Amino acid sequence: MKWQTFMNSVHQFISPPVDTCLTCNKRVKQLNTSLAICEECTRTIPWIAKPRCGVCGRHIGCPDCTRPAAAQRAIVCNRSSVAYNAQMREWLAQYKYRGNERYAELLAKMLERAYTGMKREFTNTHFKWKIDFITFVPVSQVRLSERGFNQAEMLGSILSRKQRIPLIPLLERRRHTVKQSFKSRHERIQDMQGIFQLHSSAVQRMKDVLNSYSSSTSPLPLRILLVDDIYTTGSTVNACAHILKEAGLSLNMPLEVYCLTWARS
Amino acid sequence: MRAAVYAVQCKNRWEVRISIDLRVDLIWWTSGAAGDARKIWLLSSGMPLGWAVKLRDRFQAEERNINDWTLWMRHGLKREHADEIEGIIEWLVEDRQAGLLWDRASGWTAIAEEQWKCLSGVDGLMDSDLTLVREQQELVRRAILIAELLVGRSLLEAELQQLLAEAAPDLSASWRTAVQLAHLQGRLHLTAALAPEERGLRRKNPRCRRCGSELLRRTACASCGSPACAYCEACLALGRSRACALLLRTAAFPAVHGTAGMAPTAAALGRWGLSPAQREAAGAALGFLAAPAKRAAKPAQFLLWAVTGAGKTEMIFPLIQSILDTRGRVLIATPRRDVVLELSPRIAKAFPSETVSTLYGGSEERWQEGSITLATTHQLMRFYHAFDLVIIDELDAFPYHNDPMLAFAAREACKSDGKFIFLSATPPLALQREIERGKLAHAKVPVRFHRHPLPVPKRISMNSVARCIQKRSLPSALIEALERSIHRGAQIFLFVSRIRHIDPIVELLKQSFGDIPIAGTSSQDSARGDKVLAFRSADIRLLVTTTILERGVTVPRSDVFILDADSNLFDEASLVQMAGRAGRSKDDPAGNVIFAAREWTRSQKLAVKQIKEMNKIAYSKGYLIDSPRLK
Ligand SMILES: [Zn+2]
Ligand SMILES: [Zn+2]
Ligand SMILES: [Zn+2]
Ligand SMILES: [Zn+2]
């Protein structure tokens, strides 16, 4: 046994370095330098380079955003890194349900790409688009202790570290909801009201951010980046954004909520 | 999750316990049911379960008198991961809940009342459980039921909930209360899914209790609050095994032994219609099962070394029967899902009055109990000391071979005084050596069920496949041999060592044999299943493939060609398995096997030697149809 361990270390020393790809488990000589998965897996990623819908960031035409009801939306817009296909579903499942937390870094890197795309899209010669802080869609306590982590929070906190933008938990989830997929569109939207509430320290934290600006620079409206793993109908992020905007109004602090999600279904 | 830790003094001795519903413990120790409790001292109202288990186990190992519990806990946890230490110390210093809960002389303290209040309505503990705690009869019933459902099991919390949802839905909500009572009654063992590092003489790294792996990763954990809670990366496919995850196990009952103490009789073998060679091997295995188990670190092992096409499934029937006769439980495990699916109806047919539960990833019968369990090796992680006999079929197949995780799971699933039987046509070298040294009990079945000798591979010398593809031509010796096979009406397996060679070789073959249907398939081919069916029904006559088809696929009247037989991707076992595809049917027992390569390698020599040796044994024992009759 000892000898075997020794020999293994010797073998590792002489044989060329071989990496195992996180997503396909194949052993390859070199991983993609930016994403750290193999080139083959990198090629299969269905990036949304240019969204067809300027509102929800969808890669294909979308009837939802032109409906009259859509005018009530609370987010400015959503941008997503990838289209949610079978492969992306598998990656998210590996992370969220299997609990393979190695995926956090990969998904966050992918998310960062959409963020830089967003920055490029909204910044022009007259206007520098800047996010003041990042927040995330919360999960319930029960879910949190079952899973051990909140994927949206993890993605947000890695992005916050990489982009040096503060991450502030602003929201809480009140109760457990029945699985979304069993419900109609109308039911979902109804249900979303009242699920989220402001975190007890949220108002103070928002004030702190505002106060950190000197009086000469006008930071208003504050721009918040709301992070989640997946955007389906937008009801979740809109419910969150509603609460944030209401809080902003009561503080005389106009807000814009931009939504950044890893996948658009 | 988090668990409470407390110390209880019975007579003059202290004991450290963990609890996932402290109310049950308070009633248990003070009601008099547990005898002579004097004092209960709360050490922590909730700490990461892994730490709690570690403290409990450490106390059991030491058993001395403690003066300062906080200091003792601090000492006990100081070896925790550096990232965790700071948190631990803060925790222990700040824990205002710690202190005396109950004293026989003065009764309950304020801390106990506080705890009781806190526990109702927190963390999955509901008010309704409180009435349950008061109505002790009902709680006792539930505790017994949960313990019974968990006999021979090793389950994580999430798996327990799945099992309850299926087998006892009324227990789902209050499972913590019932589990805690079952634990206090000694019916159920509670531990953490990861075992901590062990120092001292028998040094051990932290490892997974479920799969034995040391491949751990640490992340911040919202379940227990630790900033660096470890989880096992090796067995994620079966749900996450974590330092703070509760692992529930039952106490094992001693194993039964095959038709205890009696020599295997002709009657035990008679009804199965075995050939003489099968009878002799099965008889030897029955003798092994009947022998009393020795006190040893691991269960006793026996290898049934049966050549390809020997009919090993029929041979295990009498072995299963002998364990069932003594009311034992049998597990048949194999690394391959297709083998499980193929065996299941045959076992069910052979044992019509038994319940057979068939388990594989995604199977329906996940929580069904049976006297016979058929499972892929991964499923074994959900069992603990459950089986009297564990049969491992295709021992040397991927992914069991070389996967210590699956070997660990198999060992844990078997009772410590239970027995192991391995089945293989090509046992790994380690086992072959144990046989040579006389250390492994075994029986060989050197002949196929049809009692004709195994086809001995013939050699064709030819260039490498890569060179043939480059030159766009196949050597005439190979073409002629293939022609002979086609002419005699055989189905042809043509094995190559690499997937990328399949298509070009198919093209080359089509140039020479345009009039027969030729196809190629590999592990990456989604139409593999259909092509194998077409090959079986002779709609494809020549199938080019890789070692993916070295096992399992049996086609009557078939010949086998192995190109690049000198490739280091083909070891002795693989060559014997591929050669084993030929001559499987009674009507065409003498198929052809061709090793085509430039070099005559050691693996090829050993494969031919192994095949010839088996034929020789079969001949000398009189097992062959045309060998001289003995006696
Ligand atoms: Zn890959
Ligand atoms: Zn849209
Ligand atoms: Zn934890
Ligand atoms: Zn494990």
Do residues B302 and B393 both lie within one domain?
yes
Do residues A24 and A117 both lie within one domain?
no
Do residues B434 and B535 both lie within one domain?
no
Do residues B304 and B418 both lie within one domain?
yes
Q: Which of B219, B220, B223 sits opposite A145 (nearest CB)?
A: B223
**What is the sign, positive or negative, of the torsion defined by CA atoms of A16, A21, A27, A33?**
negative
**Count of structural domains, chain A:** 2
- Domain end marker among B387, B413, B445: B445
Do residues A96 and A185 both lie within one domain?
yes
Least confident of A10-19, A250-259, B283-292: A10-19
Closest Cα in chain B, distance from residue A247 (Å): 27
Do residues B530 and B437 both lie within one domain?
no
Q: Tell me, what DSSP letter sits at residue A52?
A: S
Q: Tell me, what's the pLDDT at B134?
A: 63
Q: Tell me, what's the pLDDT at A124?
A: 83
Do residues B378 and B466 both lie within one domain?
no
Cα–Cα distance for residue pair B232/A69, rounded to 1 Å: 47
Averaged pLDDT for residues B154-183? 90
Q: Before B455, cis peptide (omega within 30)?
A: no
Does some domain include residue A170? yes
pLDDT band, very low/low/confident/very high, at B124 (cuts 50, 70, 90)? very low
The first and second tokens of residue B338, run together, are 């297709």
Total residues belonging to chain A: 265
Nearest residue on chain B to A151, alpha-carbon basis: B222
Averaged pLDDT for residues B219-225? 91
Contact between B224 and B182 under an 8 Å Cβ cutoff? The reply is no
The first and second tokens of residue A184, run together, are 């109609």
Does some domain include residue A97? yes
Residues bordering ligand 2, an ion, CB closer than 5 Å: A 53, 55-56, 58, 62, 65
Do residues A28 and A80 both lie within one domain?
no
- Domain end marker among B146, B164, B186: B186
Q: Tell me, what's the pLDDT at A208?
A: 83
Q: What secondary structure does DSSP assign to B186-219, as a single string? A: TSEEEEESEEPPB-SSS-B--EETTT----EEEE
pLDDT band, very low/low/confident/very high, at B317 (cuts 50, 70, 90)? very high
> What percentage of chain B has pLDDT greater than the value 90?
45
Averaged pLDDT for residues B47-52? 91
Averaged pLDDT for residues B561-565? 94
pLDDT at residue B70 above 50? yes
Contact between A260 and A226 under an 8 Å Cβ cutoff? The reply is yes
Mutant choice from A91, A100, A105, A154 vs B, greatest count of B C-beta within 10 A: A100
Q: Tell me, what's the pLDDT at A22?
A: 93
Do residues A33 and A161 both lie within one domain?
no
Least confident of A74-83, A112-121, B308-317: B308-317
Contact between B273 and A132 under an 8 Å Cβ cutoff? The reply is no
Say which residue, B200 or B265, is predicted with more confidence: B200
- Per residue in B364-407, pLDDT (tens digit) is 767 888 899 999 888 899 999 999 999 998 877 765 666 788 88
Domain range for residue A17?
13-44
* Phi/psi at A130 (5° precision): -145, 135
Contacts of A101 in chain B (CB under 8 A): 217, 219, 231
Contacts of B217 in chain A (CB under 8 A): 101-102
Long-range contacts of B64-67 (CB under 8 A, 24+ apart): B65/B14, B66/B7, B66/B14
- Domain end marker among B424, B445, B466: B445
Do residues B573 and B530 both lie within one domain?
yes
Q: What secondary structure does DSSP assign to B72-104, as a single string? A: HHHHHTTTS-HHHHHHHHHHHHH-TT-EEEEET
Q: Tell me, what's the pLDDT at B390?
A: 94
Q: Residue B216's beta-bridge partner residues?
A: B232
pLDDT at residue A235 above 60? yes
Q: Which of A100, A142, A148 sits opposite B242 (nearest CB)?
A: A148
Do residues A77 and A205 both lie within one domain?
yes
Averaged pLDDT for residues B439-465? 92
> What percentage of chain B has pLDDT greater than the value 70?
88
Cα–Cα distance for residue pair B437/B551, rounded to 1 Å: 29
Do residues B440 and B519 both lie within one domain?
no
Whole-number Å distance, alpha carbon A52 to ligand 2 midpoint, is: 8
Averaged pLDDT for residues A52-56? 88
- Per residue in B542-558, pLDDT (tens digit) is 999 988 777 777 888 89
Does some domain include residue B209? no
Do residues B386 and B505 both lie within one domain?
no
Cα–Cα distance for residue pair B161/B172, rounded to 1 Å: 6
Contact between A108 and A95 under an 8 Å Cβ cutoff? The reply is no
pLDDT band, very low/low/confident/very high, at A174 (cuts 50, 70, 90)? confident
Q: Tell me, what's the pLDDT at B230?
A: 93
Averaged pLDDT for residues B64-71? 76
Contact between B379 and B364 under an 8 Å Cβ cutoff? The reply is no
Q: Which of A108, A134, A98 is nearest to B158 (CA)?
A: A98
Do residues A122 and A203 both lie within one domain?
yes
Whole-number Å distance, alpha carbon B208 to ligand 1 midpoint, is: 26
Do residues A80 and A22 both lie within one domain?
no
Q: Which of A256, A230, A235 is nearest to A58 (CA)?
A: A230
Does some domain include residue A3? no
pLDDT at residue B266 above 70? no
Cα–Cα distance for residue pair B515/A252, rounded to 1 Å: 84
Contact between B452 and B590 under an 8 Å Cβ cutoff? The reply is yes
Cα–Cα distance for residue pair B607/B455, rounded to 1 Å: 12
Least confident of B121-130, B334-343, B545-554: B121-130
Do residues B167 and B290 both lie within one domain?
no
Averaged pLDDT for residues A144-158? 95
pLDDT at residue A244 above 70? yes
Do residues A82 and A30 both lie within one domain?
no
CA angle B187, B193, B194 (to 5 degrees): 135
pLDDT band, very low/low/confident/very high, at A219 (cuts 50, 70, 90)? low
Cα–Cα distance for residue pair A115/A262, rounded to 1 Å: 10
Closest Cα in chain A, distance from residue B123 (Å): 8
Whole-number Å distance, alpha carbon B217 to ligand 4 midpoint, is: 11
pLDDT at residue A6 above 60? no
Do residues B430 and B473 both lie within one domain?
no
| Contacting residues for B202 by C-beta, under 8 A, at least 6 apart | none
- Residue-averaged pLDDT of chain A: 85
Closest Cα in chain B, distance from residue A170 (Å): 18
Domain range for residue B366?
266-445
The first and second tokens of residue A136, run together, are 């995330």
pLDDT band, very low/low/confident/very high, at A15 (cuts 50, 70, 90)? low
Q: Which of B49, B45, B50, B51 is nearest to B25 (CA)?
A: B45
Say which residue, A175 or B461, is predicted with more confidence: B461
Q: Which of B374, B336, B343, B338 is nearest to B356 (CA)?
A: B374
Do residues A84 and A140 both lie within one domain?
yes
Task: Give the number of whichever ligand sits closest to the CA of residue B405.
Answer: 4
pLDDT at residue B139 above 70? yes
* Phi/psi at B70 (5° precision): -65, -45
The interface pTM score, or ipTM, of the predicted complex is 0.83
Report the SS3 class of residue A53: coil
**Count of structural domains, chain B:** 3
Mutant choice from B223, B244, B378, B499 vs A, greatest count of A C-beta within 10 A: B223
pLDDT band, very low/low/confident/very high, at B123 (cuts 50, 70, 90)? very low
Q: Tell me, what DSSP letter sits at residue B440?
A: S
Q: Tell me, what's the pLDDT at A214?
A: 63
Closest Cα in chain A, distance from residue B237 (Å): 7
Do residues A156 and A37 both lie within one domain?
no
pLDDT at residue B461 above 50? yes
Cβ pair A101:B219 closer than 8 A: yes
Cα–Cα distance for residue pair B351/B345, rounded to 1 Å: 10
- The model's pTM: 0.83
* Phi/psi at B287 (5° precision): -60, -40
Q: Tell me, what's the pLDDT at B107?
A: 85
Cβ neighbours around B319 below 10 Å, total: 25
Cβ neighbours around B213 below 10 Å, total: 18
Does some domain include residue B198? no
Do residues B497 and B561 both lie within one domain?
yes
* Phi/psi at B483 (5° precision): -60, -45
Q: Between the ranges A64-68, A178-182, B460-464, where is the mean pLDDT highest?
A: B460-464
Do residues A133 and A173 both lie within one domain?
yes
Cα–Cα distance for residue pair B379/B336, rounded to 1 Å: 12
Averaged pLDDT for residues B444-453? 92
Q: Tell me, what's the pLDDT at B332?
A: 94
